[in-house]
Amino acid sequence: MGADEPGGERRTLVAGNWKMHHDHLQAIRTVQELGLRLDPGALARVEVTVHPPFTDLRSVQTVLEDRAIPLVLGAQHCHSDDAGAFTGEVSAPMLARLGVRYVLVGHSERRQLFGQSDAQVAAALRAVLRHGMVPVLCVGETAGEREAGETEARLAAQVAAAADGLTVEQIAGMVVAYEPIWAIGTGATATADDAQRACAHIRARLGDLSSPEAAAATRILYGGSVNPDNTAALVAGPDVGGVLVGGASLDAASFSDIVSAAATVRRSSRR
């Protein structure tokens, strides 16, 4: 499925990050149920991805293909090298061969729990691009940085570290997810105004690194305790092109409700 509506408007992107949840049998059941629940009218306006654990990818890919379920396959992470002595890691070409389209890069859990550095994030992002997939670059500030008034500086630094040196086409084609760390898995959501302000700031910094036209095309998502009740308000921000959903994407009912809520927002002058 393409990223845009037939009318030329950019489709909202709703991405489900399953983290380390759902074995391959649970994953199969979840995507089958999503296939039954997702409203075709909503899918005309919303592109939906699921990012299961690595061990589920082949099973999910097969079910999506066999049953023509209109979900796009995503992954949660990859290594920057194409192959090598990196025990426990998975490479971008391995994901591309499985039909993966979107790969999360630099999720805060990878950065905080597994020590992924800005340099490793930048290298993984380039590996994703090299193999024809779309990186979803995750950036966001800690609670302490927010309280110290450092949110914008933190976002600018993370965006520059990952995207400096990319071509304008690469910047236009990538996805960035603004994920304030204090909002991930906590039930504390950024206000719609805060999410819009942060996404606009990220877009401006991408414009500095490329061109305003390229940055206008980049899809920028909000992530952090998104649920069916707060989705429409968050997605209403003109710079917010969709949502990255963790916990609420594990259950087919709540995830399909989020997709339906996102589809209620008209995107006339939206990015």
Residue number of the CB atom closest to ligand PEP: 246
Using the contact rule CB under 6 A, the part of the chain among 38-46, 201-209, 221-229, 261-269 near ligand PEP is: 221-229
Does 188 bind ligand PEP (CB under 6 A)? Our answer is: no
* CB neighbour class for 128 (10 Å; exposed up to 12, middle 13-18, buried from 19): buried
Does 143 bind ligand PEP (CB under 6 A)? Our answer is: no
* Residues 145-152: contacts with CB under 8 Å, at least 24 apart: 146/180, 146/182, 151/180, 151/198, 152/198, 152/201
Residue 9 among the catalytic residues:
no
Does 247 bind ligand PEP (CB under 6 A)? Our answer is: yes
Residue 51 among the catalytic residues:
no
CB 48 within 8 A of CB 242: no
Does 246 bind ligand PEP (CB under 6 A)? Our answer is: yes
Does 184 bind ligand PEP (CB under 6 A)? Our answer is: yes
Interaction pattern, residues 8-37, with ligand PEP; x per rule: CB under 6 A: ---------x-x------------------
User: Whole-number minimum distance, CB 223 to ligand PEP, in Å?
Assistant: 4
Using the contact rule CB under 6 A, the part of the chain among 26-34, 65-73, 157-165, 223-231 near ligand PEP is: 223-231
Using CB under 6 A, which of 225, 230, 231, 260 touches ligand PEP? Answer: 225
Which residue is catalytic, options 47, 109, 141, 179?
A: 179
CA-nearest of 192, 104, 208, 103 to 155 is 208
